[in-house]
Amino acid sequence: MRQSQLFSKTRREAPKDEVAKNAELLIRGGYIHKEMAGVYSFLPLGLIVLNKIIQIIREEMNEIGGEEILLASLQQKDTWQTTDRWDDKKVDNWFKTKLKNDTELGLGFTHEEPLTALMREHIRSYKDLPRYAYQFQTKFRNETRAKSGIMRSREFIMKDLYSFSKSQKEHDEFYEKAKESYITIFQRIGIGEKTYVTFASGGSFSKFSHEFQTITDAGEDIIYISDEKKIALNKEVMNDEGLAAVGVKKEDLREAKAVEVGNIFSLGTRFSEAIGLTYVALDGSKKPVIMGSYGIGPARLMGTVVELFSDDAGIVWPKSIAPFDIHLIEVPCDESTNKAATKLYENLKKAGVSVLYDDRDARAGEKFSDSDLIGIPTRIVISKKTIEEGMLEVKSRAKGHVTKMTESQLVASIKKAQ
């Protein structure tokens, strides 16, 4: 992409009412636009990053047998009344609306009920199980407060997977697969070292659920970490029973602030019994399907990455989700530098390297400042000096060091890192 053709622009300042670092930097870098508190639109650069995160999640969900679907956002009242989750006293973050004929509808905040109802048409026998359906769907939650940028918003994309199993054993086996898959996702995105499998309350379905908590000062949760076991406990289960169940001692744990980037729950038969999702077993008996729920917010992940990987100058994207591999800058913008930069740009594209080419007629200082703010991993500068030397000036955004290399060396190094 040529930067002169990019309609979104960088900004020196973020909106005055924005307090979250992730939103400030993403707005200033031209990644997102703030519509209102807790509601953001994704601009071209932001959508590229979001889609890269989504693709990593999609690949890992497919790897464990997930089938991708897309359910409706508009929800029927009677579907949710079967599980007693339509009542605002039971669920306090509904967005509700009405059709012109006064039929009351809701905007989905999760999808256990509608998918369970849908599966009644597709699951009848033990031969139809197990099934693992997932989606990337816009959710709506009427949050009382929305002050953490894209880490806590009122409208957001959620990856929610739901498992449907014949037995507890079959469910448990998939649950562990999903847990390992989540760990892989966070490693691929670049936050694996700071993300802990965290034991949390399982409610009425099991002793524990599992959250995936990433250490950051921007987090709203308190967790207690066992560095030896690479696990953590949520504050709600930090008691004698929780410590004994996990096999850790309180004095061996350290306290930290964290943000929840994913969660997995055993649902048992709560939804299948209420909605009537059963299957005929091998012995001819009719049994309720055992379910699980597995969620990740791609935008929340994006915001968490920015909180973790940024400095005074701007964002520092991990290579796996950066909008481009290279930020190519020509200075000054004249005939000779333009010719050399354009040639390199075309050659890199042919080699399968993604490039944001800053071909704008702007001062060098402005270009370098914008490059630091946008945070693409590698910056290449084409100048009269580099043309004379026959070498490329390559700067790492993360490490800050500058090296000289040929075009072939550059392509080889990027291919190796991919």
Domain containing residue 195: CATH number: 3.30.930.10
Pair (16, 61) in one structural domain: yes
Is pTM beyond 0.85 here? yes
Q: What is the reported pLDDT for 206?
A: 74
DSSP state of 12: S
Do the Cβ atoms of 324 and 200 come closer than 8 Å?
no
Where does 77-116 show beta strands of DSSP type E? 95-98, 104-107
Picking from 311, 346, 368, the residue at the C-terminal end of a domain is 311
Do the Cβ atoms of 185 and 177 come closer than 8 Å?
no
Question: How far is 262 from 1, CA to CA, in rounded Å?
Answer: 33
Pair (201, 226) in one structural domain: yes
Pair (76, 159) in one structural domain: yes
Pair (67, 202) in one structural domain: yes
Which of 385, 388, 391 shows the shortest CA–CA distance to 406? 391
| 161 alpha carbon, distance to own chain's centre | 14
Question: How far is 67 from 58, CA to CA, in rounded Å?
Answer: 10
- Predicted confidence (pLDDT) per residue in 340-358, tens digit: 999 999 999 998 999 999 9
Pair (271, 330) in one structural domain: no
Pair (281, 409) in one structural domain: no
What string of H, E and C letters represents the secondary structure of 227-264?
A: CCCCEEEEHHHCCHHHHHHHCCCHHHCEEEEEEEEEEE
Q: What is the reported pLDDT for 205?
A: 64
Amino acid at 251: E
Query: What does 276-300 look like in DSSP terms, one character per residue?
Result: T-EEE-TTS-EEEPEEEEEEE-HHH
Virtual torsion, Cα 215, 220, 224, 228, nearest 10 deg: -10
- Residue 370 maps to a domain: yes
Residue 126: CB atoms within 10 A of its CB come to: 15
Residue 374: CB atoms within 10 A of its CB come to: 26
- Residue 111 maps to a domain: yes
Q: What is the reported pLDDT for 410?
A: 86
Pair (269, 354) in one structural domain: no
Pair (346, 299) in one structural domain: no
Do the Cβ atoms of 24 and 14 come closer than 8 Å?
yes
- Residue 318 maps to a domain: no
- Residue 316 maps to a domain: no
Q: How many helices and strands (H and E) does the chain possess?
A: 12, 23
- Residue 319 maps to a domain: no
- Predicted confidence (pLDDT) per residue in 126-163, tens digit: 999 999 999 999 999 998 887 789 999 999 999 999 99
List phi, psi (to 5°) of 316: -130, 90
Q: What is the reported pLDDT for 267?
A: 96
User: pLDDT under 50 in the chain at which residues?
Assistant: none
Question: How far is 292 from 162, CA to CA, in rounded Å?
Answer: 6
Pair (341, 301) in one structural domain: no
CATH number of domain containing 359: 3.40.50.800
- State how many domains the chain has: 2
Helix (H) / strand (E) element for 126: namely none
Query: 341 lies in which domain range?
Result: 326-417
Q: What is the reported pLDDT for 418?
A: 67
